[in-house]
């Protein structure tokens, strides 16, 4: 509380010196347990009444109990959710074989990709385990590595590779230790070298090559979530270069709303050709919105001549910097940002789970 009081005193002094009539928005921490200076000043109505805001601090703190349950994601997200990439991935599941293999994969990945500022997440796609010889347990599969950097709440892939082959382990009771591993050669000899590793078994060789495609992104997401949960991070999806974001099914409503608007803003600012620009926006709307909601928004856009998703004709740096999403409960997310007007633009999104995905069913 002492920190907030100091901030408010500082704002008032600046106002007296500059005779400004408005105050720039100040960043809030997510799930803040106390009222921010911005909330107090907004309650005051204008800078002329800000001197009385100090008396409202204790009252605002009492009334903030309800807000404590509402998650807020704002423009500070990218910095607040930065993470220490030097924290290596550690397997937290119950599979002893995967525990040993992922540990070795991290060691190898740090040799290949270390120093690039990304965290290396192992993603082993296991096809077959041959444990007939406990002194040489053979684990066949395609052993992927993905290096990620965190931007906002999205893990962006920075590096990575596929390493099909076989890991050799030694079993002692319920425990396993790493012996060695064989990885297929790169280039034209890739298939032949993997076939040799698989003992000439063509069916197994083909299965190793195809396993990642068959399992889609489920395995990859599982290991990212494992890292996220072990390090108490807010990661809501993954993104490969040139591909749309893959959102997780357990993200919060506030993060969902923030991600949609951040992605929409970014696409809006990348207008390089009209056709491609329109197509990208339409694809983004289809990903996040129901067809009924899209039709309603498009109709209003045509009527007013401004994009009604953002309620403006263009996206500015100010809009990006002040973007904020607040979960109001009952599937309602409040989007707020500055758009060069006296009052912030505020848009209510109504979200609903549609099958296995969350969609925006209305926007006003």
Q: How far is CA 211 from CA 22, 149, 203, 208, 223, in A?
A: 59, 26, 12, 5, 16
What does the block give as tokens for 128?
């077959």
- Tell me the C-alpha distance between 260 and 233, whole Å: 20
Between 243 and 336, name the one with better pLDDT. 336
Max intra-chain CA distance, the chain: 82
What does the block give as tokens for 163?
């390493």
The stretch 201-214 carries a mean pLDDT of 88
Give the start-end residues of each E strand in 201-240: 237-239
Q: What is the pLDDT of residue 293?
A: 93
The stretch 119-127 carries a mean pLDDT of 94
- Tell me the C-alpha distance between 195 and 182, whole Å: 12
Between 122 and 37, name the one with better pLDDT. 122
Please determine, for residue 135, whether its predicted confidence score (pLDDT) is greater than 50: yes
What does the block give as tokens for 117?
């500022």
Q: Are the C-beta atoms of 150 and 82 separated by less than 8 Å?
A: yes
Q: Are the C-beta atoms of 335 and 269 separated by less than 8 Å?
A: no
CA angle 284, 286, 291 (to 5 degrees): 145
- Summarised one tens digit per residue, pLDDT across range 19-73 is 443 334 333 333 333 433 333 333 433 333 333 333 343 344 334 433 444 566 6
Give residues with Cβ within 8 angstroms of 288, minimum separation 6.
256, 260, 359, 360
pLDDT band with cut points at 50, 70 and 90 for residue 191: very high
Q: What is the pLDDT of residue 334?
A: 92
Give residues with Cβ within 8 angstroms of 207, minimum separation 6.
127, 128
Between 278 and 204, name the one with better pLDDT. 204
What does the block give as tokens for 287?
């990903």
Q: What is the pLDDT of residue 174?
A: 92
Q: How far is CA 188 from CA 31, 162, 209, 249, in A?
A: 54, 15, 14, 39
Q: Are the C-beta atoms of 225 and 248 separated by less than 8 Å?
A: yes
Q: What is the pLDDT of residue 317?
A: 83
- Tell me the C-alpha distance between 203 and 199, whole Å: 11
- Summarised one tens digit per residue, pLDDT across range 278-330 is 888 888 888 889 999 999 999 998 998 888 888 887 888 888 888 888 888 88
Which string of b and e fits 96-131 if b means at least 16 CB within 10 Å? Answer: ebbebbbebbbebbeeebeeeebbbbbbbbbbeeee
Strand order in the sheet with 72-73: 72-73, 324-329, 332-337, 345-354, 357-363
Is the pTM for the entire model greater than 0.85?
no
pLDDT band with cut points at 50, 70 and 90 for residue 214: low
The stretch 166-170 carries a mean pLDDT of 98
Q: What is the pLDDT of residue 59?
A: 41
Please determine, for residue 178, whether its predicted confidence score (pLDDT) is greater than 90: yes
Q: What is the pLDDT of residue 358?
A: 82
CATH number listed for the domain at residues 252-363: 3.10.450.50
Side-chain-side CA neighbours of residue 103 (13 Å): 15
Q: What is the pLDDT of residue 274?
A: 57
Q: What is the pLDDT of residue 74?
A: 59
Q: What is the pLDDT of residue 36?
A: 39
Between 364 and 12, name the one with better pLDDT. 364
Q: What is the pLDDT of residue 237?
A: 85
pLDDT band with cut points at 50, 70 and 90 for residue 10: very low
- Summarised one tens digit per residue, pLDDT across range 52-66 is 333 343 344 334 433
Q: Where in the chain are all domains bearing CATH 3.10.450.50?
A: 252-363
Pick from 166-170, 191-195, 240-244: least confident: 240-244
């Amino acid at each position: 509380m002492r920190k907030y009081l100091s901030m408010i005193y500082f704002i008032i002094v600046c106002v007296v010196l500059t005779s400004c009539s408005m105050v720039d928005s100040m960043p809030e921490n997510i799930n803040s347990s106390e009222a921010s200076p911005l909330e107090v000043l907004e309650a005051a109505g204008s800078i002329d009444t800000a001197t009385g805001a100090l008396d409202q601090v204790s009252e605002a703190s009492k009334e903030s109990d309800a807000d404590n349950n509402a998650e807020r994601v704002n423009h500070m997200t990218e910095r607040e959710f930065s993470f220490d990439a030097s924290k290596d991935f550690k397997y937290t599941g119950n599979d002893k074989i995967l525990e040993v293999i992922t540990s070795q994969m991290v060691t190898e990945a740090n040799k290949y990709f270390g120093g690039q500022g990304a965290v290396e997440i192992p993603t082993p796609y296991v096809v077959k385990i041959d444990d007939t010889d406990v002194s040489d347990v053979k684990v066949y599969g395609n052993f992927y590595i993905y290096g990620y950097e965190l931007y906002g709440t999205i893990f962006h892939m920075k590096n990575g590779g596929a390493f099909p082959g076989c890991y050799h382990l030694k079993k002692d009771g319920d425990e396993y230790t790493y012996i060695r591993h064989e990885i297929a050669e790169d280039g034209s000899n890739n298939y032949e070298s993997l076939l040799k590793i698989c003992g000439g078994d063509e069916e197994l060789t083909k299965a190793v090559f195809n396993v990642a495609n068959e399992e889609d992104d489920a395995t990859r997401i599982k290991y990212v979530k494992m890292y996220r949960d072990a390090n108490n991070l807010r990661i809501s999806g993954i993104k490969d270069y040139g591909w749309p974001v893959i959102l997780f099914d357990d993200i919060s409503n506030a993060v969902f709303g923030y991600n949609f608007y951040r992605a929409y803003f970014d696409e809006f600012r990348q207008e390089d050709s009209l056709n491609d620009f329109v197509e990208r926006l339409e694809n983004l709307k289809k990903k996040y919105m129901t067809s009924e909601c899209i039709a309603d928004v498009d109709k209003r856009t045509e009527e007013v001549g401004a994009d009604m998703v953002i309620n403006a004709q263009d996206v500015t740096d100010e809009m990006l910097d002040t973007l904020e999403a607040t979960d109001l409960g009952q599937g309602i997310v409040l989007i707020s940002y500055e758009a060069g007007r006296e009052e912030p633009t505020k848009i209510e999104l109504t979200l609903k789970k549609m099958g296995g995905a969350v969609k925006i069913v209305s926007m006003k």
